[in-house]
Amino acid sequence: MKKTSILEDLQKAESHSKENYITFKDVLQISENKKTPLSKIYGVGTFYSMLSFKPRGRHIIRICGGLACHLAGGDKLINKLKEVLQVDVGETTKDGLFTLEENSCLGLCSVAPVMMIDDEPYGNLTEEKVEEIIKSIKEGTKK
């Protein structure tokens, strides 16, 4: 088996978590396995914006704040999302379904404005579309 790095261990731990985060227990385990002090692992984990040590929602919404999306009215979408979800950027909805995060550019600039929910990209967004998408995911998850 290939040796994994601390970062990969963290990514793996997070991907196993329903709440999209790395638990303290995971970190202790990695520290033990890799003979690496906690401070180092904590430093790595807090560096990357896709990693979290705090529980997050079942779905991560990454709304793009890059220039192309900004020009295409991205700000409005961010506000819309905040309104629909009743959270600020970086927060998780009360029902634990969504965490809203901002991304610097999702590399889909030609269909700006865009967002990703988990691994799924959504482009050419409008406020209405955003509302719809959130609604359908909510319903889908409830079922």
Partner 1 sequence: MKHRILIAEDSKSLLNRAKEIEKLFKKELEKRNLSETVSVLPTGSLGYEDIGVALVIYPDNVLYAPVNSKEDVQTIVKEHFVDGKVVKKLQKPFKRFSQIEKIMGIQQRIVLENVGKISPEDIKEYIAFDGYKGFENALKTSPEGVIKEIKDSELRGRGGAGFPTGKKWEFTAKAKSDKKYIICNADEGEPGTFKDRTIMEGDPHRVIEGMLIAGYATGANEGIIYIRGEYALSIERLENAISQAYDLGLLGNNILGSNFSFDLQVKKGAGAYVCGEETALLNSIEGKRGEPRKKPPYPPTAGLWGKPTVINNVETLANIPVIMRKGAEWFKQFGVPGSYGTKLFSLNGDLNWKGVVEVPFGTNLSFIINEIGGGLKDNLSLKAVILGGVSGSLLTPNEINTPVDFNSLAKIEAGPGSGSITVLSEKRCIVDVAKNIAKFFRHESCGKCTPCRVGTDQMYKIIDRISKGQGEGSDIQIMEKLGRTMKLTSFCGLGQTAPNAILQSLKKFPDEWNAHIFDKRCPVNVCRLEA
Partner 2 sequence: MEEKTVKVKINGKEYEFPAGITILKACEKVGIHIPTLCYLEGVSEEGSCGVCVVEVKGARTLQRSCITELLEGMEIYTDTPAVKEAREMNLELALAHHPLDCMTCDKNGDCLLQDLAYEFNVKKSVFLDESEIYEKEKQTAWDTNPFIQFDPQKCILCRRCVDACENQAIVEAIGIAMRGIDEKVTTPFNLPLEQTNCQFCGECVQACPTGALIEKPRIGKGRIYDFKATDTVCSYCGVGCNIRLYTDKNNNIVMAKGLPNKLVNDTRTCVKGRFGFEYVNSKDRLTSPLIKENGKFRKASWDEAIQYIARKLTEIKNKYGSDSIGVLGSSRCTNEDNYVVQKFARAVIGTNNVDNCARLCHSSTVTGLKMALGAGAATNSIDDIKDADVMFIIGSNMTETHPVIAQIVKKHQKDDGAKIIVCDPRKTDIAKVADVFIQHNPGTDVALLNAIMKIIIDEDLVDEEFIKEHAVGFEQLKEELKDFDLSEASKITGVDLNLIKQAAEIYGQAKNATIFYTMGITQHTTGTDNVLSIANLALITGNLGREGAGINPLRGQANVQGACDLGALPNVFPGYQSVTDESVREKFEQAWGVKLPKDVGLPVSKFGEAALSGKLKAVYVMGENPLMSEPDINRVREGFEKLEFIVVQDIFLSETAQIADVVLPAAAAYEKDGTFTNTERRVQLLRVAKEKLKGTKFDWEIVSEVASAMGYPMHYKNSAEIMDEAASLTLSYAGIHHYRLEKQGIQWPCKDDSDPGTKILHRNGHFNKPNGRGVIHAVKFKPPAELPDKEYPFVLTTGRILYHYHTGNESRRVKVLDEFVPENYIEISKKDADKLNLKDGEIVKVTTRRGSIKVKTRVSDRPKEGVVFVSFHFHEAAANILTNPALDPIANIPEYKVAACRIEKV
Closest Cα to residue 59, out of 92, 99, 26?
Answer: 99
Query: Would strands 98-103 and 120-122 be described as parallel, antiparallel, or unpaired?
Result: unpaired
Residue 39 touches partner 2, criterion: CB under 8 A: yes
- Residue 59 CB, shortest distance to partner 2, in Å, is 24
Query: Would strands 98-103 and 59-64 be described as parallel, antiparallel, or unpaired?
Result: parallel
* Site map 50..69 versus partner 2, x via CB under 8 A: ---x----------------
Residue 105 touches ligand FES, criterion: CB under 6 A: yes
- Residue 107 CB, shortest distance to partner 2, in Å, is 20
Question: What is the SS3 string spanning 97-133?
Answer: CEEEEEECCCCCHHHCCCEEECCEEECCCCHHHHHHH
Among 7, 51, 68, 89, binds ligand FES (CB under 6 A): 68
Q: Which residues bind partner 2 (CB under 8 A)?
A: 24, 27, 35, 37-43, 46-49, 53
